[in-house]
Amino acid sequence: MDHSVGFFQDLAIVMALTGVVTVLFHRLKQPVVLGYIAAGVVIGPYSPPFQWIHDKETIQMLGVLGVVFLMFSLGLEFSLRKLFKVGATAIVAALFEIVLMLWIGYQIGSAFGWNPMDSLFLGAMLAISSTTIIVKALSELGLKRESFAQLVFGILIVEDILGIAMLVLLTGIAQTGQLSAGLAAVTLVKLLLFMTVSLLVGVLLVPRALNYVARTGSDEMLLVAVLGFCFGFCVLVVKLDYSIALGAFLIGAIMAESRHLHRIEHLIAPLRDASSAIFFVTIGLMLNPAVVLEYAWPVTVITLAVIVGKIVSCGLGTFLSGQDGRTSMRVGMSVSQIGEFSFIIATLGLTLKVTSEFLYPIAVAVSALTTLTTPYLIRVADPLTRRMAHAMPATFSNAFGMYGQWLRSLIAARGEPTLFRMTRRIVVEIVVNLALVAAIFIAVSYSAPHSARLLAHWLADEPLQRVVQWSVALVVSLPFVVAVYRKTKSLALLLAEVSVQPTAGGRFTSALRHAIADLVPILSMIGVFLLVAALSGSILPPTGLLVAVLVCAALLLALVWRWCVKIHASMQVALRETFEEQPDP
């Protein structure tokens, strides 16, 4: 056990000093996170006289565990239901905030004469607020259950999704040097496809598996199962070239649908607290106080920009989407800081070797300063709103009031809600099933080199191997193809009913409607085939064999049609059950 003494000593120093510093920060009524970072600075290589840490690598490895558990916990708190409730406002506010902060960050960087990549990463660092710090601040102030807090959490969720997309885009830009609209579109579609499919498949499988394990009553086994799924999924995600943070977040969101959510949160909390403490310490470890002093001027400017920019952008976005002035101000004040995501983006820049060294300490310094101000800003939001309302000219406040009324009347005026909702629901179902079909073909063609090696034992002929691979993908995706066909048919029927009115169609009404209802699904099937063919890539069999496979598939389909319908229906039921089930208290 001797080789691990150094590692233990590092861990002991990190934990002991962190303990002392956090107690100190708590006494000074400052957030614990700041204490962690401060402890990291004290331990770190830039602050003499002691060389505290022996093996920085291993400590940083444990720090990565902190990121995973932080994002996983965030995912556990994520809920599709909650998101839908505050959906529109959150999306508008988050988009407003991200776009404006990206622009402000880029402009500040350019004004300081930094290169475009540094400026871009600075913008990205300022875009996303810190969920952990907001949650901590709101719960310390006892405001966590207020309605504006729900809105804030909604904004944070949207920010997280957009932030993850931003990570992917930044990696792309860093590697190719430019942002092509095409790449951005493909990246976003691929990301959304991956997220949709993994959420669907995950929600179908993981909560059931966890329920099974949880029924044993053993916390230990449940924990091992949760960690197995979490790490396993993270590795899968990393293999697909997405970030480990995305993986942890997604699997957390999947487990959020488990009935045993609260037990899982309970079990994960100590692991998250211990490893995230180490993560925040490693941030401090990388902070060179000399660099912060050297860049005191940019740090000041950026800190002010974050506070003012976020209050204005997020507050305005909230207000424009129909909330009152007080709520908007409180939301804006709550999100006026940067945190863990900024460090992740700064780390990304350093890892990809596209940003300068000084960005990281600046991000840490700005985060520390804005973390410090957050609780005071939240507290000052209400008095400030009142003072502003008093000071505002009557014309202004009338105009604001009228805007709110107009917006509400707009929402109330939306007609035909039933037909609209029905159409939307069918379209969503078609898109989801198409996504599944696409994912199956992408997965099979992705794993083609491996399966070809296995198949080579029985089938030497390469085209025949492709036939087998393609057929497997086709058979697996059959239930979803059938579902797409049936949904398109009902959509076509619905549209035919609405668009072909007896007054216009006369005696052809019925025939026209039937024609549309029959034609659209067939056309859509051709579309599905083209999509699949495009996605299959290397595993698409040569034309002759392809036709043969399709004929066989058609014959098979005639036999198993009912079975396909049944399997799809039961999947749908299972999914709905999982989503609708409330977690045990």
Q: Point out which residues bind a second copy (CB under 8 A).
A: 1-5, 7-9, 11-13, 15-20, 22-23, 26, 32, 57-58, 60-61, 64, 67-68, 212-213, 216, 218-221, 223-225, 227-232, 234-235, 238, 243-244, 267-271, 273-274, 277, 347, 351
Instruction: Answer for the pair 531, 434: CB distance below 8 angstroms, yes or no.
Output: yes
Residue 320 and residue 334: Cα distance in Å, rounded? 18
Q: Provide the minimum distance between the beta carbon of 213 and a second copy in the complex, in angstroms, as a whole number.
A: 6
Place of tokens 């669907």: 200
Please say whether the beta carbons of 170 and 118 come within 8 A: no
438 vs 443: CA distance, rounded Å: 8
Inter-residue contact 354 to 117 (CB < 8 Å): yes
Q: How far is the CB of 100 from a second copy (least distance, A)?
A: 29
Question: H or E stretch including 69?
Answer: helix 56-77
| Residue 536 Cβ vs a second copy, minimum distance, rounded to whole Å | 29
Work out how close the CB of 44 gets to a second copy at its nearest, in angstroms, rounded to a whole number.
18
Q: Residues of 99-127 as b/e, b for ≥16 C-beta within 10 angstroms?
A: ebbbebbbebbbeeebeebbbbbbbbbbb
CB of 23 to a second copy, least distance (A): 6
Pick between residue 26 and residue 425 the one whose CB is nearest to a second copy. Answer: 26
Q: Which is nearer to a second copy, 270 or 401 (CB)?
A: 270
We find the least distance from the C-beta atom of residue 565 to a second copy, in angstroms, to be 32
Closest-CA residue to 251 (of 238, 585, 241, 274): 238
CB of 272 to a second copy, least distance (A): 9
Q: Considering the complex, state which of residue 207 and residue 325 has its C-beta at the smaller distance from a second copy.
A: 207
Residue 357 or residue 462: which is nearer to a second copy going by CB?
357
Provide, rounded to whole angstroms, the least separation between the CB of residue 392 and a second copy. 41
CB of 270 to a second copy, least distance (A): 5
Q: Is the peptide bond before 49 cis (omega within 30 degrees of 0)?
A: yes
Q: CA-to-CA distance for 142 and 138, rounded, in angstroms?
A: 6
CB-neighbour burial class of residue 87 (10 A; exposed 0-12, middle 13-18, buried 19+): middle
Of 263, 281, 197, residue with least CA distance to 225? 263
Closer residue to a second copy, CB minimum distance, 62 or 484: 62
Instruction: Considering the complex, state which of residue 167 and residue 338 has its C-beta at the smaller distance from a second copy.
Output: 167
Q: Which is nearer to a second copy, 20 or 526 (CB)?
A: 20
* HSE (side-chain half, CA atoms, 13 Å) at 562: 1
Using left for φ > 0, alpha for ψ between -120 and 50, and beta otherwise, residue 416 falls in left
What letters, b where the CB count within 10 A reaches 16 and e where it falls short, cover 420-430? eeeeeebeebb
Exposed / middle / buried, residue 567 (Cβ in 10 Å: 0-12, 13-18, 19+): middle
- Which residues, including other chains, have CB under 8 Å from residue 284's CB and lie 6 or more apart? 36, 37, 38, 39, 40, 41, 42, 43, 44, 364
Residue (35 or 322) nearer to a second copy, CB: 35
Identify which of residues 272 and 466 has a Cβ nearer to a second copy in the complex: 272
Nearer to a second copy, 357 or 461 (CB): 357
Q: Report d(CA 190, CA 442) in Å as an integer.
A: 11
Closest CA to 252 of 94, 484, 77: 77
Minimal distance in Å, beta carbon 544 to a second copy? Answer: 38
C-beta of 221 vs 511, nearer to a second copy? 221
Q: How far is the CB of 230 from a second copy (least distance, A)?
A: 8
DSSP class of residue 87? Answer: H
Nearest distance in Å: CB 59, a second copy: 12
